[in-house]
Chain A
Amino acid sequence: MNKAEKSRKMSYKQRGLKQALPFLLPASILLFVFLIIPFFFAFYLSFTNTRLISPIPPRFVGFSNYVRMLGDDLFGKALLNNFYFVAIVVPLQTIFALFLAILVNQKIKGSTTFRTIYFLPTVTTMVVVAVIWTFLYHPEGTINAILSFITFGNWEPIDFLSTERIAFPTIMFLSIWQGVGFQMLIFLAGLQEIPESLYEAATIDGANKWKQFIYITLPQLKNTSIFVIISTTILAFKLFDQVYIMTSGGPNYSTYTVMLHIYNQGFRMQNVGYASSLTVIFFLIILGVSLIQRILLREEREVF
């Protein structure tokens, strides 16, 4: 690269930045006001004993909120549950979403209808979904009735949400069903980016559908998959609505999650200081997980 070329490229880059700034501004302001400032505020609050409603002026308590966390067995339990949830839901949801995306990407009649159907749960509010599924999961609800019907009455009705062993997997199932449409849509976009010519060439070379999937579709979808996995992981860590509505974290804390713990501590017990310290630690944990994922699944970027 000679000097002239270099300077041309620089000015090109600078010009790009100039044009990008006005477009970045609205989003940056929003991010700053609603994410970054509150986070620093939470960081500050985590070193105080601030309460939501209290005549006692808040004072600095150093690291005592963090020390308290070490002895908080519910936080530990919640954290384990969160990892359990992520470990099960992220792979299943990703594989299932890819499967659905390939399915609705076929050029057959009605595939748009199926895309809409699979996407519907995602656009329905989780709160509504959770309330409806609570009825479905009831011992006298639809799911038990269906299981009883297909087993010719040999099915013992299960109280899905009240049985310690089953409650969390039950919620996982619902969560996968609700969220999969979103990932499907991203995979679909990724699939449509793959040039048709690759498949044509493969067909000429005599590769069957399975080989095409392994050697063309999957590698071409690498960046999409990484995005899906990381965003699903973050979403999965935020698990709250379903457990709040369906079980309140029970039975015996088998569905208790960190977000629920933060909500209980901060809003219901009004312990804002302690809740803030939980938030900070939880943020660091999610950040760490995302970073590790990024290192393990190195994205292939096209160099500009």
Chain B
Amino acid sequence: MKKVVSILFVLLIFLGISVFSQVEITMWFHSGRGEEREVIEDQVKRFNAMQNEVKVVAVQLPEGSYNDQVNAAALAGDLPDILDLDGPFVSNYAWAGYLRPLDEFMPSELKEDFLPSIIAQGTYNGKIYALGTFDSGLALWGNKALLEKANVRIPKNVEDAWTFTEFMDVLRRLKELPEVTYSLDLKANDRGEWYTYGLSPFFQGFGADLIDRETYMSAEGVLNGPEAVAAASWLQALFEQGFVNSNPPGYNVEFLNGEIPLEWAGHWEYPQGKGALGDDLVLIPAPKFFKHVSGMGSWAWAITTNSKNPEASWKFLEFLLKPEEIVKMSNANGAVPSRYSAIELSELYKEGGPLNIYVQQLNTIALPRPVTPGYPAITLAFQDMIGNLIRGVDVQEILDRAVRVIDQDIESNQGYPIY
């Protein structure tokens, strides 16, 4: 009996040691769509089961108020070890010193395996602060039957994209089809970040931008210069002349039931589009305006400076960023895998895959939303501006106002000096 007790005692001590040597890290993530959430939950479970050094405790926060909750936690000094952030907000957190640079953990071959868009989005002041397991693609979804009926050319790859004049010609021809109500869906009723994500590439296509990317000190002349005026007037005319619905009844209803032949949207439309249109669903690269630009950016993982166990945290991120894990996520939410080695494993995105155009775009023409701590003000001003543009307010007036708001914000933050 005594022997049994002493064995138990020894066992207990061992267990105790192994429990104590186990590092516990907390992770916050936005609870997005169901499939995405399930994959992360499964990844956490498998990671915890496969080794006993690091234990990840995952906490989901609702997406709508995610940013507010993270802000509050940051102010209270209560950030978890790992969290995910929407791409364009990374620089704001990095600037404020809440995020830990990931460079020390990243061998150069790992860095080179990432899509350039992922690196561009996660880099602030020369250091990488966030890495996504996926990126997003922005291009046109088309209804092949209608496009063929209107007798327009369907581009096959990025170099082949429609030029500006071709694009306008396509819109006109589609409009003439009797079954078509509007030629193009721009999701005008999806206010919020979509306006900046989805519509700023048109401004950049005209040679304008949201801010002067050389200095990030002013939007003067960039968001209200002649190029911006041209872009805004063109966009406004699309609504006024009935090429685009300024108030669609639903998210993608008209495209799915064949009333609108073109839809400006991301990879996330693939499953539904495929279900509704079948083989008639075609992916068309972003049209080539005066500059060829498309949007990008998605949620990315970061380690906080609050973390007492950055190595353990990186261990988990390394696991999430494994090509096999990336593909699991990509298959679940349809997003573009963030690493070349993962893209090769993905049926959807590998060379010749139905969504490969997104990879081509991310490799060549994708432009991140401005990587500056002032982004929250920039996007608010731009969203406001687009809202007024759609409702027909004078173009120069709304552009000047947006510039004023952005410049005022930069000024009241002393130009967002690097700390």
Contacts and interface: CB of A to CB of B under 8 A. Distances in A.
B413 A51 contact: yes
A121 interface: no
A267 B65 CA distance: 11
A269 B414 CA distance: 15
Given A53-B96, A54-B96, A269-B380, A138 B247 contact: yes
Contacts of B380: 264, 268-269
Contacts of A122: none
Interface string A32-57: 00000000000000000101111110
A139 B71 CA distance: 38
A241 interface: no
Interface string B352-388: 0000000000000000000001001100100110011
A140 B388 CA distance: 22
A162 B246 contact: yes
Contact of B247 (A53, A54, A159): A159
B96 A55 contact: yes
Size bin of chain A's contact surface: 20 to 34
Interface stretch (A222-230, A232-240, A244-252): A244-252
A140 B254 CA distance: 13
Nearest to A254: B391
A274 B411 CA distance: 13
A122 B56 CA distance: 43
Contacts of B203: none
Contacts of A162: 246-247, 390-391
Contacts of A54: 95-96, 373, 413
B275 interface: no
A252 B249 contact: no
B341 interface: no
Interface string A54-75: 1110000000000000000000
A62 to B, nearest CB: 14
B92 interface: yes
B409 interface: yes
Nearest to A138: B249
A274 B71 contact: no
A164 to B, nearest CB: 7
Given A54-B96, A55-B96, A252 B388 contact: yes
Contacts of B412: 49, 271, 274
A271 B391 contact: no
B393 A53 contact: no
A7 to B, nearest CB: 54
Q: Could you say which of B93, B191, B387, B414 has the most chain A C-beta atoms within 10 Å of its C-beta? A: B387
Contacts of B97: 55
Contacts of A267: 68, 71
Contacts of A51: 413
Contacts of B409: 269, 271
A270 B376 contact: yes
Interface string A242-268: 000000111111000000000010011
Interface string A109-127: 0000000000000000000
Given A138-B247, A252-B393, A53 B71 contact: yes
Size bin of chain B's contact surface: 20 to 34
Nearest to B68: A267
Contact of B391 (A251, A269, A274): A251
Contact of B387 (A139, A250, A269, A270): A250
B256 to A, nearest CB: 16
Contacts of A269: 376-377, 380, 409
A268 B376 contact: yes
Interface string B390-401: 111100000000
A70 to B, nearest CB: 14
Contacts of B93: 53
Contacts of A250: 384, 387-388, 391
B417 interface: yes
B350 to A, nearest CB: 39
A52 B388 contact: no
A280 B373 CA distance: 27
Given A51-B413, A53-B93, A55-B97, A248 B247 contact: no
B74 interface: yes
Contacts of A55: 95-97, 419
Nearest to B409: A269
Contacts of A274: 412
Given A162-B247, A269-B377, A56 B391 contact: no
A51 B391 CA distance: 32
Contacts of A264: 380
B391 A53 contact: no
A56 B98 contact: no
A269 B412 CA distance: 11
The 8 tightest CB contacts between A and B, nearest first, are A251-B391, A55-B419, A250-B387, A53-B96, A269-B377, A252-B393, A268-B380, A55-B97
Interface of B: 68, 71, 74-75, 92-93, 95-98, 191, 246-247, 249, 373, 376-377, 380, 383-384, 387-388, 390-393, 409, 412-414, 417, 419
Interface of A: 49, 51-56, 138-140, 159, 162, 164, 248-253, 264, 267-271, 274
Given A53-B75, A55-B95, A138-B247, 8 more contacts: A53-B98, A54-B373, A55-B96, A138-B249, A159-B247, A162-B390, A251-B388, A264-B380
